[in-house]
């Protein structure tokens, strides 16, 4: 099985980084933005959705229905890094290695009967357990995760900023298991305040609404972070699954 590697993007036609980080990636943009993306991203396949598909959650839902077996990457990914390293060592995968690792991970997930798959959410080597390199429960980051066909998964159009929490929680409810290879981490450029992309819709009001919607649907497994030291806004959250 080959999964398509798709980059959902919005009004960042001249600032896409991810096509240099992973081979064979496809850009997915609104129909009205196709020409600009093609002009600025020579040699990269551009697939379009109707302009009526507005917001990242709706875009992701369109993508998983259109491509069926897909791995989605944000447009501001610098590279895929290996988490397990020696002291003072940084291991960066080249674009072809990144592509192959995604394919191998997707096929491992399929063999394990998992529908949602991804990689580590932490770049810190101390967070890696050599005794447990594959996590079967938990959360996958929005910037880099995949969905395989045959699942019950969908993206709620009312979620504005936290579609990764939505899909992780929905997967836990329906399928329980994910496939998360914690040996690797996709390094992403900071985008909370940035022209285009999700930044066009993200604000504190949207984060608050998302938090209350997630709590309403999934209950008290959705919590606000108790440690406020490193939070970027007051509605950063965590999830505590009962298994």
Residue 201 in this model has a pLDDT that exceeds 80: no
Residue 130 in this model has a pLDDT that exceeds 50: yes
| Total domains in the fold of the chain | 1
The chain-wide mean pLDDT, for the chain, equals: 91
Per-residue pLDDT tens digits for 85-115: 877 777 999 999 999 999 999 999 999 999 9
The closest alpha carbon to 66, from 46, 92, 48, belongs to: 48
Please state the rounded mean pLDDT for residues 134-139. Answer: 93
CATH at 215 = 3.90.550
Q: Containing domain of residue 73, as a range?
A: 4-239
Q: Which residue has the tokens 């984060």?
A: 207
Per-residue pLDDT tens digits for 149-173: 999 999 999 999 899 999 999 999 9
Cβ neighbour number for residue 206 with a 10 Å cutoff: 16
Q: How many helices (H) and strands (E) does the chain have?
A: 5, 13
At residue 199, the pLDDT reads 54
Per-residue pLDDT tens digits for 43-93: 999 999 999 999 999 999 999 999 999 999 999 999 999 998 877 777 999
At residue 192, the pLDDT reads 46
């Amino acid at each position: 099985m080959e999964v398509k590697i798709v980059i959902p993007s919005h009004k960042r036609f001249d600032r896409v980084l991810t096509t240099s980080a992973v081979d064979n990636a496809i850009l997915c943009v609104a129909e009205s933005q196709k020409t600009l993306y093609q002009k600025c991203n020579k040699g990269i396949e551009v697939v379009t959705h109707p302009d009526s598909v507005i917001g990242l959650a709706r875009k992701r839902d369109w993508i998983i229905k259109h491509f069926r077996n897909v791995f989605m990457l944000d447009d501001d990914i610098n590279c895929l890094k290996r988490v397990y390293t020696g002291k003072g060592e940084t291991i960066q995968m080249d674009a072809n290695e990144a592509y192959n690792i995604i394919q191998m991970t997707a096929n491992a997930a399929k063999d394990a009967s998992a529908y949602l798959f991804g990689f580590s959410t932490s770049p810190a080597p101390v967070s890696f357990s050599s005794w447990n390199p594959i996590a079967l429960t938990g959360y996958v980051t929005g910037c880099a995760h995949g969905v395989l066909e045959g699942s019950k998964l969908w993206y709620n159009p009312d979620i504005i900023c936290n579609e990764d929490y939505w899909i992780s929680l929905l997967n836990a409810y329906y399928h329980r298991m994910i496939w998360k290879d914690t040996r690797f981490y996709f390094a992403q450029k900071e985008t909370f305040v940035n022209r285009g992309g999700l930044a066009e819709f993200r604000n504190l009001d949207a984060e608050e609404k998302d938090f209350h919607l997630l709590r309403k649907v999934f209950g008290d497994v959705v919590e606000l972070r108790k440690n406020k030291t490193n939070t970027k806004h007051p509605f950063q959250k965590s999830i505590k699954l009962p298994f």
